[in-house]
Amino acid sequence: MIRNLIFDFVGVIADVDHKKVLKDLTFAEKIKTLRLVVSHKRGKAVKELFDAYQAGEISTAEFDLLLQRSKPSYKGLVTKLSKSIESNLQVNEDVISLIDQLRKDDFKVYMLSNSTPETERIIEENNLRQHFDGLVLSTELGLLKPDESIFEYTAEKYSLKPIDTLFIDDTDENLATAQYFGFKTLKSSSSQETFHQVGRRFYSLYQQFAKQQKEEPEKE
């Protein structure tokens, strides 16, 4: 029986408005960003930099400087991207209400996230720690998903039995490692999808929300 739920952050509890992020970039910066994404997926050097960033080993400014050494024309790109992402990252209050209700119903709820300095600030500014029984952030721990060690650490720290634990994430690779470790898993690609999937699976708050939506008169 599920007694514990572990939520990822970006793409599960909060969403980035990518259209607004792109609007903040010049055409040249959009091309460089696309190349950076491709390099992260296929190239070792950029992935190592990004991993170090998420592990809390380097700051945004240091990431920018190190990237600039190999790609001089990318100067300032990471800083601009991180600021835009931070300003266009929105926490879904429906999901937070759902989490609060889960805890009232005696579920234990945790966050496990590959974070950045920017997402950490969003978490603190929105006082999100108070809504969870525990948080594991890569920037604080120095471990990253999908490494099995971060799942092992989380289970040991909070005395979780994997078989009683549901892990919710938006990345197949992270979900695969969680399954291998023994967690039950649920894929969600947006915070609204999280609300509907978790709500339908677990109970009352979602039913109340759905009823309210049905009863509201349609807008002309």
| Integer Rg of the chain from CA | 19
**CA-to-CA distance for 26 and 30, rounded, in angstroms?**
6
Q: Are 152 and 182 in contact (CB under 8 A)?
A: no
Q: Domain residue spans in the chain?
A: 4-15+90-215, 18-87
Q: For the chain of 220 residues, list the mean pLDDT of each consecutive stretch of 10.
A: 95 96 93 84 81 94 92 92 94 95 93 95 96 97 96 98 97 97 96 93 63 56
Say what the pLDDT of residue 220 is. Answer: 43
Preceding omega of 146 cis (within 30 degrees of 0): yes
Say what the pLDDT of residue 215 is. Answer: 63
Say what the pLDDT of residue 138 is. Answer: 97
Is the pTM for the entire model greater than 0.85? yes
Torsion of CA 80, 118, 55, 30, to 10 degrees: -30
Say what the pLDDT of residue 39 is. Answer: 73
What's the CATH architecture for 4-15+90-215?
3-Layer(aba) Sandwich (3.40)
DSSP 10: B
Residue 120 backbone zone (phi > 0: left; psi -120 to 50: alpha; other: beta): alpha
Say what the pLDDT of residue 26 is. Answer: 93
- E strands, the chain, are 4-7, 14-16, 89-91, 108-113, 134-137, 165-169, 184-187
Say what the pLDDT of residue 1 is. Answer: 85
Q: Residue 126: which residues within 8 A CB-CB, separation 6 or more?
A: 91
**CA-to-CA distance for 158 and 135, rounded, in angstroms?**
10
3 phi and psi, to 5 degrees?
-125, -15
Q: What is the largest CA-CA distance in the chain?
A: 58
**CA-to-CA distance for 104 and 99, rounded, in angstroms?**
9
